[in-house]
Amino acid sequence: MNMGNGGVPALKPENLGDESFRRDHRLRYAYVAGAMANGIASTRLVGEMAGAGMLAFFGAAGLGLERIEAAIDELACTHPGAPYGFNLIHSPNEPDLEAGVVDLYLRRGIRLVEASAYLRLTLPVVRYRVRGIKRDAEGRIVTPNRIMAKVSRVEVATQFFSPPPKEFLDELVRKGEITGEQASLAASIPMAQDLTAEADSGGHTDNRPLVTLLPTLLVLRDRMQGNFGYEQTLRVGAAGGLSTPAGLAAAFAMGAAYVLTGSVNQACIESGSSDAVRKMLAQAEQADIAMAPAADMFEMGVRVQVLKRGTMFPMRAAKLYDLYRANAGMEALPEADKAFIEKQLLRTTLEDAWRSTRDFFVTRDPGQVERAERDPKHRMALVFRSYLGLSSRWANAGEPSRMMDYQVWCGPAMGAFNEWARGTFLEKPENRRVVVVAEALMNGAATQLRQLFEGMTSKP
Ligand SMILES: Cc1cc2nc3c(=O)[nH]c(=O)nc-3n(C[C@H](O)[C@H](O)[C@H](O)COP(=O)(O)O)c2cc1C
C-alpha cells in the first residue's frame, strides 16, 4: 500500500466506505444520491452520477406509471448497464400504486430499488425482493433484485434486516408468484442487505441525530448478522445532514458503509427543480427549515422537512392541517378560514377545487373518489392534499406567481453546505453539479481523515 508521511497509508476518496459495497454495486465511490420525489432526482442527475461511478436513484415518488416508465426507457438508452436504481416509496394511501410500481419494475428488469417511507413491510416490496431467487451453480443463493432500505427507526430496520415474513411468502406461493422451493430459499436472505440510516434530513424525517442513529443501527446490523448468518453480509450507510467534508468524514469514521445525500443534490443544476428554487436553496442557512404536513400521508399527521426562507408554505400547510383536524368537512369550515383558503391558497372555490381534485384521482386512484363521495372529511383531506401537491409542482416548475407557496423539501444539510461553499466556486447555484459536489465532498473527507490519522500517529 502507498504510504504517506508518518506511515499513514494514503487515503483516497475511492477507499472510503465498505469495499464490498463498492464492488457489489460496481461503484468508484461509496457515495449515493438518494431519490427525490417528482423526478427532482431526474434522469439527467441519475445519468451524471452513474457516468462518474456513483449511485443515484430516480425520484419516482409522486409520478404516474407512464412517467416512471419513460425514465426507465431513457436511462436504459443513455446509460445501458450502468449502476443506478429507482425509488420504491411506501404509499399507504395508494396501495394499488405501490403494487403497480413493483409490477413495472419487475416487468422492466429494474434490479435495484431504494425502498423508503415503510413503517412495515408490504406484499409488493416482498414480492419485488424474492422474485427470481435461485441457487447458482456453486449452490449460493442468488437474488436478482436488491433493496437498499432507507429507515430512521430500529423497528423498521429490524424488518428489513430479517428474512421476508413467512405469511407473505406463503401468499406469494399461493398466488403462483414463486415456488415453494423459492420460498424456502427466501428464508435465508435479508429483505435488504444495504440499509441507510437516515438521520435529520430533507423530506420525510424523524429528525434523529446521525451520531446516535448510525451507531444504533450498526449494532443492530451485527446482532442480526450474528443471528441469521447471512451469506450477503449486512451493511449500513449514513444519510441526513451530510453535505460537508467534515460530515462525510464523521460518517465514514463512525463506520458507515456508504454515504447518501439529498438536499445538496436538489440545489444542483441537474435536479428536476427550478432555477428559482436553486437560488432560494443557495441562500438557506442552517435554521431556515421547518416541519410541515406531508401531502402523501397528510391524514396520518406525517410531516416533512422543508425550506422556510422565502416561502410561506410551512405556515400555510400547518393551517390546513389544523383545520382538517378541527372540522368534519369543508362545509363546516368557519367563513374566515374558508375565505382564506379560497383566496390565498386555492385561488378558486372549494367546489371547483374538489372538481379538479376528483378529476385527478378518477384516473390515478378511483377508490379515493368513491370514499370521498361518501365521507366529507376525506373529501376535505383530498382537496387540502391537492394544494400540498401543487405547491411542490409550482416549486419544481418555478411558477413565479406562486413563490410564496413553494414547497421545497430541505434539511439542515443545505445551510451547512452553503456555509462550507461560501467564497468558493460552489457558492454560485449555476456551478453546482452533482458529480462536482460529490467529488469535492469525497476528496475533502479523505483529506480530513488522513490529516486526522497523521495527527494521531505523529504524536509521541
Ligand atoms: C427535495 C427532496 C425530495 C426527496 N424525495 C424523496 C423521495 O421521493 N424518496 C425518498 O426515498 N427520499 C426522498 N428524499 C430524501 C433523500 O433521498 C435523502 O435520503 C435525504 O435528503 C438525505 O438527507 P439530507 O437532505 O440531509 O441530505 C428527498 C429529499 C429531498 C431534499
Average pLDDT over residues 214-221: 98
Measured distance CA(217)–CA(50) in Å, rounded:
28
**pLDDT band for position 1 (50/70/90)?**
very low
- Lowest-pLDDT range, 7-21, 210-224, 331-345? 7-21
pLDDT at position 365, please? 82
Residue 345 · residue 320 · CB < 8 Å? yes
- How far is ligand 1, taken at its centre, from the CA of residue 262, in Å? 5
Q: What is the pLDDT of residues 321-366, one digit of tens each?
A: 999 999 999 999 999 999 999 999 999 999 999 999 999 999 878 8
Amino acid, res. 258: Y
Q: Whose CA is nearest to atom 10 of ligand 1?
A: 35
Ligand 1 binding pocket (C-beta < 6 A) is 34-37, 40, 59, 61, 87, 89, 114, 116, 150, 198, 201-203, 239-242, 260-264, 266, 409-411, 413
Q: What is the pLDDT of residues 78-106, one digit of tens each?
A: 999 999 999 999 988 788 889 999 999 99
Average pLDDT over residues 30-45: 98
Burial class of residue 204 (count of CB atoms within 10 Å of its CB; 0-12, 13-18, 19+): buried
**pLDDT band for position 460 (50/70/90)?**
low
Phi-psi region of 81 (alpha: psi -120 to 50; beta: other; left: phi over 0): left
Instruction: Fold for 5-277, please state it.
Output: TIM Barrel (3.20.20)
Length of the chain as a residue count: 460
Average pLDDT over residues 280-291: 97
Q: The cell 413503517 sits on which residue?
A: 119
**pLDDT band for position 459 (50/70/90)?**
low
Q: What is the pLDDT of residues 394-407, one digit of tens each?
A: 999 999 999 999 99
Question: Domain map of the chain by residue range?
Answer: 5-277, 312-405
Q: What is the pLDDT of residues 408-423, one digit of tens each?
A: 999 999 999 999 999 9
Is pLDDT above 60 for 208? yes
Considering the chain, what percentage of its residues have pLDDT values greater than 90?
92
Measured distance CA(39)–CA(306) in Å, rounded:
17
| 242-277 as b/e: b if 16+ CB within 10 A | bbbbbbbbbbbeeebbbbbbbbbbbbbbbbbbbebb
- How far is ligand 1, taken at its centre, from the CA of residue 35, in Å? 6
